[in-house]
Structure 1
């Protein structure tokens, strides 16, 4: 996790982290999926629900806060992934820089280099941009909320950063259509206020794997 040749100091040092088995969505949560939660009265409407640049049913839902994302995840029976889980899902176990390998390729991710300048339908860069586990859009498209508070490395799940009730900035991962490859490589991480509702931030859902009986 992390990188010793990081673009930003907050992404270093590189270190090993063990995570229990988990599942994670193949794609970011779409507007169509999120709207079902809104219709059920369990979620607040996206702040971009009326913005035609971002409200196509196949695009990732954006303009949702960390609290909005947490409520949706609970509604579907899951949770937000920790940032360690997110990086594992994006990077695999070999320490690669991008979900598909070591070198950036604008044909594999929706970033500034590609010129879309808005989010694209989830999975549009699949399978060529998929992670080793088959997760799509882990680089670019929209930043993704994680459950984790933004703290320094090394990552330690027991140091309070996974407290859902603690105040502070949460970690977003993955980069977005607004930023270049430096934000889309697997170790990239940024802080975001949990109340923020940004048009370049969405999320996907994770869930702990059940232990065999």
Structure 2
């Protein structure tokens, strides 16, 4: 295991690698750069030191639009026969797909919502912790937070679909575990880190971050009866998936079962957070006015480029249904590029 000094070296290496990655992409709009709030913070700080930047003049950093925090995951299903469960997202026959938080919900997002801090939040959440995952909430509090923006917690089947994809890969980032791809026990940090820090652990296509490690993520339901949970616990009442910084690297599914832990819905923990999902079409129609401001056109097109061709069929249908919504049109145009 990497000790404390080793953990510091790991974090420094990750910071420099992520900064270099973002600098290579500086020709793209800042907020459509494929980073997360954790990595975005590095870029914002870099930009703040540049002559003429808003921050250097005392201005505030640009806020992320809600849609910029979301990934598009196409509908589909895959049978994980070894563990006796079908990973499925959306309606595989009717299209649609899911919108999913790119990152675990952060402490900054929780505070900005006005929701009371989880009653067991392990101290105050200061500005310097804004990009760390929000933790310590029970399932009811997680559900309540998700509903604020017309979202919810994922089902076990949806979470596994987002993480393993159509190929049923055993890790979110590929077929084999990698020591530097997730904040797990082997890395030796002993704490959660800013969401998106482990860029090499992102899921291909959707670019979802931290589905393995960092913090466990609440799910809406329980696995089917008879499915083994490699994280232990009883699943009759609830569960969380994905592992955490206190857990060793394990496959999402395999001989040991699925990477889940059975939990009482009242459970709270320092390594337990949430990620939200929703039906893509319904959410986009309900929230289209939030991303239709002409000042945000380039940023919304950037989201469409990130979602890519898997979202095109849905977006073309929504463009007709939304009767000329500029935001939907910009998303569709971006996805076609």
Structure 2 length-normalised TM: 0.51
Corresponding residue SS for 1:144: strand
Q: How far does residue 95 in structure 1 lie from its aligned partner after superposition?
A: 1.2
- CA distance in 1: counterparts of 2:216 and 2:191, whole angstroms: 12
Residue in 2 that maps onto 1:124: 197
From 155, 159, 175, the counterpart of 2:243:
175
Question: What does 1:87-166 align with in structure 2 at a 5 Å threshold?
Answer: 87-126=160-199, 128-132=200-204, 133-152=206-225
Corresponding residue SS for 2:213: coil
1:34 aligns with 2:110: yes
From 4, 8, 13, the counterpart of 2:84:
13
- CA distance in 2: counterparts of 1:52 and 1:34, whole angstroms: 10
Stretch deviating more after TM superposition (14-23 or 97-106):
14-23
- CA distance in 2: counterparts of 1:179 and 1:49, whole angstroms: 20
Residue in 1 that maps onto 2:116: 44
8 Å CA contact retained: 1:173, 1:190: yes
Structure 1, residues 139-169: CA drift from partner, whole Å, max 9, x if none?
A: 0000000111344257xxxxxxxxxxxxx52
From 143, 147, 158, the counterpart of 1:70:
143
- Give the RMSD, CA atoms, in angstroms: 2.3
Aligned residue-pair number? 186
8 Å CA contact retained: 1:119, 1:200: yes
Q: For the structure 1 residues 73 and 120, does the alpha-carbon distance in structure 2 shift closer, same or farther, using more than 3 Å as the test?
A: same
8 Å CA contact retained: 1:27, 1:123: yes
Give the gaps of 5 or more residues in structure 2: 1-78, 92-96, 228-235, 282-313, 322-337
1:199 aligns with 2:266: no
8 Å CA contact retained: 1:150, 1:191: no
- CA distance in 1: counterparts of 2:192 and 2:146, whole angstroms: 21
Corresponding residue SS for 1:107: coil
| Structure 1 outlier segments of 4+, above 6 Å | none
1:25 aligns with 2:101: yes
- CA distance in 1: counterparts of 2:276 and 2:85, whole angstroms: 25
- CA distance in 2: counterparts of 1:124 and 1:45, whole angstroms: 24
- CA distance in 1: counterparts of 2:181 and 2:104, whole angstroms: 16
Structure 1 length-normalised TM: 0.79
- CA distance in 2: counterparts of 1:110 and 1:68, whole angstroms: 25
Corresponding residue SS for 1:106: coil
Corresponding residue SS for 1:90: helix
8 Å CA contact retained: 2:88, 2:160: no
Residue in 2 that maps onto 1:185: 252
Give the gaps of 5 or more residues in structure 1: 5-11, 155-167
Structure 1, residues 98-139: CA drift from partner, whole Å, max 9, x if none?
A: 01111111211000010011111000012x111122100000
Q: Which has the higher contact order (CA 8 A, sep 6+)?
A: 1
Q: For the structure 1 residues 28 and 3, does the alpha-carbon distance in structure 2 shift closer, same or farther, using more than 3 Å as the test?
A: farther
Residue in 1 that maps onto 2:331: none
- CA distance in 2: counterparts of 1:3 and 1:113, whole angstroms: 29
